[in-house]
Structure 1
Amino acid sequence: MSIKKISWQQELKQALQAIGIESELYTSDSFLLLKFQDNEELHLNLLSIAKHPDSAETLLLQQQYSASEKQLIQLWEDIWYTKPVQILSRISALLGKNKRIHGRKTSIITITQPEADRFLQENHLQGSAKARHRYALVLEGQFVAVATFSAKRKMTRKHADYTSVELIRFATADGFTVQGGLSKLIKHLIKTILPSDVMTYADLDWSYGKGYTKLGFEMVSQMPPAEIWLDQSTNIRYFPHRLPAEIIADLAPLATSEKIVYLNSLHYISVFNTGNLKYILLCQ
């Protein structure tokens, strides 16, 4: 007897059930979505690589859910396959099922880039990124949260002494929510390097940025959905300008339709995000 392989959406549903989260798949027009039995505010839009609605239709659906005071997360098939542990942890946190730690019980230490890389690769959906300033919250000798920031950048268009620093990554350890943790880390950064503002981005696939608003950030702009090319052989995502150099060179003389055919021949497929929100926290 042959064994029938279950779909990735069913695999996700079973993985959620295994950690005590009951969910239900349902359809809405051309979308396959997932809702939770004990939470009516959070929903997942499950986007398959081979066939999916376009970015405009997806963004409209997201806006409809937001208008109804519901959060719609865009979960792509390749992200589920590459980051299942981080996805389950993020969903658990959004549903309020994580163990809560008070930030005041933690201490702050400066960490190295390799230490930040290890923690963020394990606990952040986007992995790690190079940063100038890196801090961890520590409880009983263990990292429970990490935040990384850029170097200060002069913003002379505002005034000669104005500087800005970017919050690049923030993540908590799997299974934990650190209450006041991000606020504590940002206040430490501000006290340490004295920027004029702290800026960051909320990924609209996963967040409406409400947490930043609660910390005093102001939303200043919204970026539209962006095209992304997924290398199906490695499950690595690339923005068009960050494709491998040899591919960019080969694409240069081609028309748009020819570029798509060429990338498809290399097993790249077009996906997208729903954009992001830019937030700024004034410090001075």
Structure 2
Amino acid sequence: MSKQKISWQQELKQALLNIGIESELYTSDSFLLLKFRDNDALYLNLLSIAVHPGSAETLVLQQEYTASAKQLIQLWEDIWYTKPAQVLSRISALMGKNQRVHGRKTSVVSITQPEADAFLKENHLQGSAKARHRYALVFAGQFIAVATFSGKRKMTRRQEDYTSVELIRFATADGFTVQGGLSKLIKHLIKTILPNDVMTYADLDWSYGKGYTKLGFELAGQIPPAEIWLDQVNNIRYFPHRLPEELRAATAQLTEAEKMTYLNSLNYSSVFNMGNLKYIIPCN
């Protein structure tokens, strides 16, 4: 899906400038990075589909930045092309450019799955996902934040009547940061359905989970980087076990090298994520 070799990186840089964010591209070993004029603690690692470093090398780079109290975001070419508005919104929020609204000025309402889908498709990098419980924060007559949760799941290995709920998605409307917004939505959920804990995952491509820690979540584990196959024709990402059934069947007996060659011939490219951090907050 590459156009010119650095066209998407230059396009990103110009798009940031158009919303008042000055940045600079530079190289470090095999990486092409972007730094910001007004924030020396935030960096982007720009990963192209055709040629990119491996996950192990990228993980080492991320750990080096973390050790220096710097956040390194992993931005893939396909994510920029398919979700440019969401990427710019997320960066703008991290740069402190958003309008701030305090959660106490908002009200909590239950919303339908289609309403959650519409909001999250527009405002979350991963789009929407099916959820049992869906809530929005309303300010000045509009939704400015949405959180979705699973139903209660029995955790009998903890104790017979122990239940846990997953926070599946949280997003704010473009241009808004809601101070205390996620906390307000979680507290509403806890009061409504009374789980023993709420758990969630921080996407290490974009977050180190500091926001969850501030809310009282405890780090419960880490999921390592994962291989992903990108269908470049339709711009769809698949974990290996979720590839279309016909592709799983066709590659079941192939070596890794043979599988790579076969899928590449069908315009599938191998990419990866940096894994996830698992967080849990007790409710009692």
Q: TM-score, normalised by structure 1?
A: 0.97
Q: Deviations over 1:23-67 (max 9, x none)?
A: 011111110100000110000000000000000000000000000
How far does residue 217 in structure 1 lie from its aligned partner after superposition? 0.2
Q: Secondary structure at the match of 2:34?
A: strand
Structure 1 regions of 5+ residues with no counterpart? none
How far does residue 139 in structure 1 lie from its aligned partner after superposition? 0.9
How far does residue 102 in structure 1 lie from its aligned partner after superposition? 0.7
Measure the CA separation in 1 of the matches of 2:149 and 2:130.
9
Measure the CA separation in 2 of the matches of 1:262 and 1:8.
27
Give the aligned partner of residue 21 of structure 1.
21
One-letter code of the match for 2:35? K
Q: Secondary structure at the match of 1:63?
A: helix
Q: Secondary structure at the match of 1:50?
A: coil
Measure the CA separation in 1 of the matches of 2:84 and 2:261.
31
One-letter code of the match for 1:184? K
Instruction: Give runs of aligned pairs for residues 10-89 of structure 1, distance below 5 A.
Output: 10-89=10-89
Measure the CA separation in 2 of the matches of 1:64 and 1:255.
34
How far does residue 6 in structure 1 lie from its aligned partner after superposition? 6.4
Measure the CA separation in 1 of the matches of 2:254 and 2:26.
41
Measure the CA separation in 1 of the matches of 2:49 and 2:264.
13
One-letter code of the match for 1:220? A
Measure the CA separation in 1 of the matches of 2:143 and 2:102.
14
Give the aligned partner of residue 121 of structure 1.
121
How far does residue 140 in structure 1 lie from its aligned partner after superposition? 1.7
Q: Secondary structure at the match of 2:207?
A: coil
How far does residue 119 in structure 1 lie from its aligned partner after superposition? 0.2
Give the aligned partner of residue 92 of structure 2.
92
One-letter code of the match for 1:98? N
Aligned in 2, Cα 1:6/1:264: closer, same or farther, shift over 3 Å? Answer: closer
Q: Secondary structure at the match of 1:52?
A: coil
One-letter code of the match for 1:203? D
Q: Give the number of equivalent residue pairs.
A: 281
How far does residue 78 in structure 1 lie from its aligned partner after superposition? 0.4
Give the aligned partner of residue 225 of structure 1.
225
Give the aligned partner of residue 257 of structure 1.
257
Measure the CA separation in 1 of the matches of 2:253 and 2:54.
27
Give the aligned partner of residue 140 of structure 2.
140
Measure the CA separation in 2 of the matches of 1:264 and 1:168.
32
Q: Deviations over 1:70-92 (max 9, x none)?
A: 00000000000000000000000
Give the aligned partner of residue 245 of structure 1.
245
Give the aligned partner of residue 210 of structure 1.
210
One-letter code of the match for 1:186? I
Give the aligned partner of residue 161 of structure 2.
161
CA-based RMSD of the aligned residues comes to: 1.0
Measure the CA separation in 1 of the matches of 2:102 and 2:9.
35
How far does residue 255 in structure 1 lie from its aligned partner after superposition? 2.3
Q: Deviations over 1:103-130 (max 9, x none)?
A: 1000000000000000000000000000
Measure the CA separation in 2 of the matches of 1:52 and 1:58.
9
Measure the CA separation in 2 of the matches of 1:86 and 1:137.
19
Q: Secondary structure at the match of 2:206?
A: coil
How far does residue 254 in structure 1 lie from its aligned partner after superposition? 2.0
Q: Percent identity?
A: 81
How far does residue 249 in structure 1 lie from its aligned partner after superposition? 1.5
Q: Secondary structure at the match of 1:8?
A: helix
Q: Deviations over 1:185-219 (max 9, x none)?
A: 00000000000000000000000000000000000
Q: Secondary structure at the match of 1:190?
A: helix
Q: Secondary structure at the match of 1:57?
A: helix
Measure the CA separation in 2 of the matches of 1:217 and 1:12.
34
Structure 2 regions of 5+ residues with no counterpart? none
One-letter code of the match for 1:253? Q
Measure the CA separation in 2 of the matches of 1:214 and 1:197.
16
One-letter code of the match for 1:197? D
Measure the CA separation in 2 of the matches of 1:95 and 1:6.
24
Measure the CA separation in 2 of the matches of 1:256 and 1:26.
33
